[in-house]
Amino acid sequence: MTAIEQPRTRPLAWLRHSLVLARRSLAKTTRNPGPIINGVVTPALFMVLFLYLFGGSVAGSTADYLRYLFPGILVMGAGLAGMVSTGTNINLDLKNGVTDRFRSLPISRLAPLLGSVLADLVRYLLAVAILFAIGALFGFRVHGGLAAALAAAGLAIGFGFCLSWVTVFVGVLVKSADSVLAISFISFLPLQLGTSLAAPVETLPGWLRTWAEINPVTHVMNACRALLNGTPVGGTVTTTLIWCAALFVVFCPLAIHAYSRQQ
Amino acid sequence: MVTVSDHGFETEGLAKRFGKVTALDGVSLAVPRGQVLGLLGPNGAGKTTVIRVLATLLRPDSGRASVAGFDVARRPGQVRRRIALSGQHTSVDEELTGLANLVMIGRLLDLPRAQALRRAAELLARFGLEDAAKRPVAGYSGGMRRRLDLAASMVGHPEVVFLDEPSVGLDPGKRDELWQMIRGLSADGVTVLLTTQYLEEADALADAITVIDQGRVIASGTPADLKREVGGHTIAVRLNDPADTDVAAGILAKVAGRTPERSTRHELVVPVAGDEDFFEITARLREHRIGVSELSLRLPSLDEVFLTLTGAPTSAANDTDKPTKAA
Ligand SMILES: Nc1ncnc2c1ncn2[C@@H]1O[C@H](COP(=O)(O)OP(=O)(O)O)[C@@H](O)[C@H]1O
Ligand SMILES: [Mg+2]
């Protein structure tokens, strides 16, 4: 038997291990790109659908309507990519014994979770980049300048990231990955569609308007719309950031707590 | 600080409940370094729970456990540096190649990339997976996955390895191959805890066997001890020509000293003292020119072991209608 290679404990070991596991998660995505496709195809379909259903009547022309619609589609893409991937991946790993193996290794207990979340950030970036390309294909142009476009992408991704902690929490608690998907799907409709996505909230019927005004996703969409179209952002960016912080502060510790207690 | 212990691992009075289910009810085990302990028990006996406690994945309600001299509750980090776990379900990544799976474990164990690659190649060769190294695991057979899982356990040169029902789902040929590899581990001086539902497997691999049922140890000793206690081997003979049945039964009865049981498919089954009887029986069958289509010398099944040890069938056999949850 070879001598035991005593691993040196180096600083930031948890970060290195998380990066190794993020690579694993991404490698799995390349072979099985379901989540990314979900995060791109669903929003793209909604874009085409709304564009040709409502384009003429809501905004006069499809080109004008695309300017209104696309930023919300972007937010939906980032939200969806996060809602499905980490939650289901974590659940699968917990259920099929992979997490047991990781936890029997001398690495941080949280490294698999952090790895998956880090990989999600890459998946959001990809989803958002592909959506921008599809938007451009349909004639969407950024009017707010490069910095504003980056800020909009950053907000969409940042919100997707903060929202994903809710799914991680659910993913740790529920029995099967299918339930995680089902819960994500059920919450998708009110969360993403009960917003200013297709039309300004002022034009929505009473009860839907009330919900859309409360729904944080509306604020993210409004903020991205203002940034991308070069119109005044008002308080939308601040409201978005506050929502991001609130979701993160509540659900990240909850998810981490549930994950590390899982036996 | 180096703690010196002659034990690869030991547990004392481990108890664990899950709600109303008592998974462990005072389990004590001790295994000298470099030996293989077979933990034998039916489904739901608590085998996986013992492994999860030893692998620092689960805190027991009471009792203590130590691995390589380190207490699992107080020094889990030290324990994790010295162990490897190969779970009941293989836990390699389907979408990754065999090589990528092993390199990843190496990287998690802080090996530099080049060294992780070297170690992975070495283990793939040792476990006969060189040709499949660059293929995604999704295309591997059950036996190949098991071997990869075992290889993944060995990346960090563990001192103690936990194998939870390693041969589940393998056909006999693949199982023998796996047994060969497990024997290789213990030849390297690794302490092994192996759980199984088959006395045959424990007998083939273990230096000592502990039988557990419903979270309690009901017997322990060397395979020879256990076999002595539960009555050793059984001979089963199937005849070419059913017309020979009476003559053959006479021969078996004479040699074994007991009347053989006759099964519906012209099979005669009788317990024997050892292989002496077996050879005696084959010789006499031949003298009488009785053609045999199947002839086997086998160990008692787990159910037979339990029947002898406890006077009752296994709890799993008792309530087959109750779904047993694998954890
Ligand atoms: N996480 C868990 N939650 C609830 N019950 C569990 C859990 N793990 C194991 N059990 C129960 O504990 C008992 C022992 O389980 P286990 O150790 O998996 O048995 P074995 O591995 O011998 O089949 C079983 O009755 C099982 O249902
Ligand atoms: Mg088990």
Kindly state the percentage of chain B with pLDDT values over 70: 91
DSSP per-residue codes, B267-278: EEEEEESSHHHH
Distance from the B139 Cα atom to the nearest Cα atom in chain A, whole angstroms: 13
Among the residues of B155-274, which ranges form H helices?
A: 172-187, 199-205, 223-230, 245-256
User: In this predicted structure, what is the pLDDT of residue A92?
Assistant: 84
CA A158 to chain centre: 8
Chain-chain contact of A97 with B88 (C-beta, under 8 angstroms): yes
Whole-angstrom CA distances from A28 to A51, A95, B139, B192 are: 34, 17, 15, 32
B171-209 pLDDT tens trace: 888 888 889 989 988 888 899 999 999 888 998 999 999
Mean pLDDT score, B65-83 = 95
Residue B94 has pLDDT above 80, yes or no: yes
> Encoding tokens for residue A135?
């938007």
B206-232 pLDDT tens trace: 999 999 999 999 999 998 888 777 766
The C-alpha atoms of residue A225 and residue A141 are separated, in whole angstroms, by: 12
Q: What is the whole-number distance in angstroms between the Cα of residue A247 and the centre of ligand 2?
A: 38
Asked if this assembly's ipTM is beyond 0.85, the reply is: no
CATH homologous superfamily of domain B7-221?
P-loop containing nucleotide triphosphate hydrolases (3.40.50.300)
Ligand 1 contact via B47 beta carbon (within 6 Å): yes
The C-alpha atoms of residue A154 and residue A159 are separated, in whole angstroms, by: 8
- β partners of residue B67: B9, B70
Residue B318 has pLDDT above 70, yes or no: no
Domain residue spans of chain B: 7-221, 233-298
User: In this predicted structure, what is the pLDDT of residue A4?
Assistant: 46
B272-283 pLDDT tens trace: 877 788 899 999
Q: What is the whole-number distance in angstroms between the Cα of residue A27 and the centre of ligand 2?
A: 30
Q: Are strands B7-18 and B62-67 parallel, antiparallel or unpaired?
A: antiparallel
The C-alpha atoms of residue B156 and residue B161 are separated, in whole angstroms, by: 11
Residue minimizing CA distance to atom 5 of ligand 1:
B18
Mean pLDDT score, B5-29 = 93
Chain-chain contact of B84 with A104 (C-beta, under 8 angstroms): yes
Kindly state the percentage of chain A with pLDDT values over 90: 51
User: In this predicted structure, what is the pLDDT of residue B319?
Assistant: 46
Atom of ligand 1 nearest to the CA of B41: 22
Q: What is the whole-number distance in angstroms between the Cα of residue B87 and the centre of ligand 2?
A: 9
A128-185 pLDDT tens trace: 999 999 999 999 999 989 999 999 999 999 999 998 899 889 888 887 878 887 888 7
Is there a contact between A5 and B111 (Cβ–Cβ < 8 Å)?
yes
CA A118 to chain centre: 12
User: CATH classification of B233-298 is 3.30.70.100, yes or no?
Assistant: yes
Instruction: Give the type of residue at B29.
Output: L
Residue B261 has pLDDT above 90, yes or no: no
A46-97 pLDDT tens trace: 999 999 887 767 667 888 899 999 999 999 998 887 766 777 888 888 888 8
User: In this predicted structure, what is the pLDDT of residue B315?
Assistant: 59
Is there a contact between A112 and A62 (Cβ–Cβ < 8 Å)?
no
Average pLDDT, chain B: 88
Q: Is B128 exposed, middle or buried (0-12, 13-18, 19+ CB in 10 A)?
A: middle
User: In this predicted structure, what is the pLDDT of residue B314?
Assistant: 62
CA B262 to chain centre: 31
User: In this predicted structure, what is the pLDDT of residue B311?
Assistant: 66
Chain-chain contact of A20 with B56 (C-beta, under 8 angstroms): no
User: In this predicted structure, what is the pLDDT of residue B13?
Assistant: 96
B61 and chain A in contact, CB less than 8 A: no
Kindly state the percentage of chain A with pLDDT values over 70: 93
Most confidently modeled of A3-7, A59-63, B46-50? B46-50
Select from B52, B83, B157 the Cβ nearest to the Cβ of A2. Answer: B157
Is there a contact between B150 and B86 (Cβ–Cβ < 8 Å)?
yes
Average pLDDT, chain A: 88
B87 or A19: which leads in pLDDT: A19
Tell me the backbone φ, ψ of residue A97, rounded to 5 degrees: 90, -5
In 3D space, the residue among B297, B175, B284 whose CA is nearest the CA of residue B235 turns out to be B297
B56 and chain A in contact, CB less than 8 A: yes
Distance from the B305 Cα atom to the nearest Cα atom in chain A, whole angstroms: 30
Buried-exposed string B54-89: b where 16+ CB fall within 10 A, e elsewhere: bbbbbebeebbbbbbbbebeebbebbbbbbbbbbbb
- Least confident range from B61-65, B133-137, B166-170: namely B166-170
Rg (CA), chain A: 20
pTM for this prediction: 0.81
Ligand 1 contact via B44 beta carbon (within 6 Å): yes
Select from A21, A106, A263 the Cβ nearest to the Cβ of B57. Answer: A263
Whole-angstrom CA distances from B215 to A64, A262, B48, B89 are: 70, 22, 11, 21
User: In this predicted structure, what is the pLDDT of residue B259?
Assistant: 85
The C-alpha atoms of residue B92 and residue B87 are separated, in whole angstroms, by: 10
